Chains A and B, each alone.
Chain A
Amino acid sequence: MNKVLAVARWEYFEKVKSKAFLIGLLVTPILMIAMGVLPGFFASQEDEESRVVGVIDATGKLIAPFAERFQTRYLLNNGVPNYVVMPLAVGPNINLDAARSDAAMRVSRDEIEGFFVVTGSDSVVEYHSKVVGDFRIAYRIEETIKEILAQERVRTLGLAPGILEQLEVHLNVRTVKLSAEGEKEDAGFETVFISAYVFLMMLFLLIITSGQMLVRSVIEEKSNRIVEVLVSSCSPTELMAGKVLGLSALGLTQMAFWAVIGVALSAKFGVTFVALDQGLLLLLYFILGYLFYAAVFIGAGSPFNTEQEAQQITSYLVLFLVLPIVVAVPAMKNPDALWIQILSYVPLLTPTMMALRIPIQMPSVWEILSTVLVMLVSIYGAMIVAGRIFRIGILSTGKSPSLKELFRWIRTG
């Protein structure tokens, strides 16, 4: 047991002191925050200069009301109109194709930001621009034209001019999440989505980085033959147990650090990501997942002699970890779906699936108990299998073993 602790202590402190660990510790939360905040930040960024929008209007009637509304409604911060409307071709007799190509030239010469075409034949309005991803301008054009057309109809139908305002209904749906005790707490979709995502990503990153650290340390010891000294000093089981223990402590350190950052941030911005009971449950799945994957990584990595060879196998493991991120959106829409429940019992997926589900909707008690049980059994089994591969794998050099040989190692271990 002392030797297990000696190995664990070594693995822990040598890794904690390494630059890679420090960088991972700091960079990950920065990345996560950046990923969460930056897209929204850039999307909501206001224009700083007026943009010129060209109009080709085959009806000849839309241009005037559009220009008036569009230039007065959307203003820059300094009060200048955000958009300048430039009529390019107006009237029923214009050649649409010629007008389009002429306008396209202007766009390519950067004279105008983009242009839209009202053909008049149906209710289609085309918007042409270099940046089709700029959905805000398209949305604004659409809104403005809709209003004009609606008022046009009000007039032709002979309705009262103020009728549109009266018809408009304002409705805000406030989502209230019911927790197990029946307490109500406000939880907007974004909060749930973000917190589920954050936990998933954290679990994912933690398992990947420490799994790879584990494989790297085994392969380093193999390639410089330190492993001979190690296994002549202690049993392979002790060595493996020490490594798993040391790296688990490392993972918990990392998590604790991130949790402190998370709590500090959420306190500052007044967002509560997760309640305490959820937090503890997540921590439990974190640890279970961590231990299980540690065994899997050791088993998958120790037969190989170079990191590249090992990575070919361990990158498949990454796929299992990514899967819950892929199914996150459908899972949020319907967290009770049978397939989600079934996936929760696949040991490779259990921790991440549960990390995904817990913030969305707390799974039932028996589901939690049974998945924890599944994980405990799987960890036990995985440790035994990994231990057998490890025992032989760490001493094997030369050619990587075939699958058949691996099974023989596991059987004879």
Chain B
Amino acid sequence: MLDVVDLTKRFTTTLAVDGVSFRVGRGEIFGLLGPNGAGKTTTIRMILHILEPDGGTVTYEGLPFSEATRNMVGYLPEERGLYKKSRLLDTLLYFGELRGLSRNHARERAGAWLKRLDLHGQEQRRVEEFSKGNQQKVQFVASVMHDPPLVILDEPFSGLDPVNQLLFKDVFQELKQQGKAIIFSTHQMDQAERLSDSICLINKGRVVLGGPVRDVKKRYGKNTLHVEFDGDGAFMENLAGVHRALLYERSAELELTSDTAPRAIIEQINPRVDLRKVELLEPSLHSIFLQVVGGPAPHNGEGGQTR
């Protein structure tokens, strides 16, 4: 569906995007990952033709960008903006028309989507009267109501409560089943891991990791202990044989050095905390992310995101 080849963008002094390539197929959910400032949004803007790339090409179903391909894409920007004083239905009709829908068709599609997202019956309310989460839903409707084969969502989950996150995930699956290609950017790795079929990890403008999630994780081997426990686990990151540790409140992810037997580590941990669960698995995307992007150094550091 979408082919991005060798995309490059330079801003006065910095190389924001440096030779990024990936492809997204129909019926695929594609996670565009990377830390803040990695070049995700710039890449998205070039795909959308908001920014002109300095080098590289973007094709949609093999077609170069044209006025016709504009309508093949739906876009939810990272910063949420709507016309505050305008009415919900008017806003949606406008965005629908801008994507090439007739007014009547837009009305029909808007109605169906509002129903799906539990916003029907509120068509005449002003946008500013909606909660933040609901405004986000409105924007989502605006980006998909013209039934585009490619949907690009920049940080779609930020600012959503758990109920709405679940709703969005369901809707993603529906879109996937309809054969649409979905690109979403995020820096929340657990989300990306659960949702995406393929990922592309960008750091400092370059692709540092990419491919189907399963393959990516396989590449990092089964050398990570996922531990759940009660007690103080702070000592774990200083154990000999632990290359890298991600410590959370009551769980930890311990990446072992290649010559360490998992059993040896378990024996060291067992007397000091109440173990509830131990699993030898592939590292999480989060751990891979930190490894690739340069998280905490081995035997040192604060241990990732604590919750």
Chain A residues within 8 Å of B, Cβ to Cβ:
2-3, 6-7, 10, 13-14, 18, 220-221, 223-226, 228-235, 395
Contacts and interface: CB of A to CB of B under 8 A. Distances in A.
Given A3-B97, A3-B98, A6-B97, A232 B83 contact: no
Contacts of A230: 98
Contacts of A224: 79-82
B278 interface: no
Q: Closest 7 CB pairs between A and B?
A: A224-B81, A6-B97, A233-B98, A232-B48, A225-B79, A226-B81, A225-B81
Interface in B60-95: 67, 70-71, 73, 75, 77-83, 85-86, 90, 94-95
Nearest to A226: B81
Given A3-B97, A234-B98, A229 B51 contact: no
B83 A226 contact: yes
Contacts of A223: 81
B50 interface: yes
Contacts of B77: 225, 228-229
Contacts of A7: 98
B33 to A, nearest CB: 21
A224 B81 CA distance: 4
Nearest to A3: B98
A394 to B, nearest CB: 10
B193 to A, nearest CB: 28
B98 A6 contact: yes
Given A18-B85, A224-B79, A225-B79, A232 B100 contact: no
Contacts of A232: 48-50, 70, 73, 75
A14 B51 contact: no
Given A2-B100, A395-B50, A395-B51, A229 B85 contact: no
A233 B96 CA distance: 9
B94 A229 contact: no
B70 A234 contact: yes
B78 to A, nearest CB: 8
Given A228-B45, A229-B95, 16 more contacts: A3-B97, A3-B100, A7-B98, A14-B83, A221-B81, A224-B80, A224-B81, A224-B82, A225-B79, A226-B83, A229-B77, A231-B50, A232-B75, A233-B70, A395-B50, A395-B51
Contacts of A235: 67
Contacts of A2: 97, 100
A395 B86 CA distance: 23
Contacts of B48: 228, 232
Contacts of B71: 233
Interface of chain B, main secondary structure: loop
Contacts of B143: 229
Contacts of A3: 97-98, 100
A334 to B, nearest CB: 49
Contacts of A228: 45, 48, 50, 75, 77
Contacts of A233: 70-71, 95, 98-99
26 contacts: A3-B98, A3-B100, A6-B94, A6-B98, A7-B98, A13-B90, A14-B83, A14-B90, A18-B85, A220-B83, A224-B81, A224-B82, A225-B77, A225-B81, A226-B83, A228-B45, A228-B75, A228-B77, A229-B95, A229-B142, A232-B70, A232-B73, A233-B70, A233-B71, A233-B99, A395-B51
Contacts of B45: 228
Contacts of B49: 232
B61 to A, nearest CB: 17
Interface of chain A, main secondary structure: helix
A10 B142 CA distance: 15
B98 to A, nearest CB: 4
Nearest to B71: A233
Contacts of A226: 81-83
Contacts of B95: 229, 233
Nearest to B67: A235
A281 B240 CA distance: 90
A356 B142 CA distance: 48
A6 B93 CA distance: 9
Contacts of B100: 2-3
A326 to B, nearest CB: 37
Contact of A10 (B70, B82, B94): B94
A391 to B, nearest CB: 10
A27 to B, nearest CB: 20
Q: Which of A224, A235, A395 is packed against the most chain B CB atoms within 10 Å? A: A224
A237 to B, nearest CB: 11
A232 B100 CA distance: 12
Nearest to A6: B97
Interface in B31-47: 45
B54 to A, nearest CB: 13
A232 B50 CA distance: 6
A6 B83 CA distance: 15
Contacts of B80: 224-225
Q: Which of B50, B71, B80, B85 is packed against the most chain A CB atoms within 10 Å? A: B50
A318 B48 CA distance: 38
A229 B152 CA distance: 11
A14 B86 contact: yes
A7 B73 CA distance: 19
B189 to A, nearest CB: 25
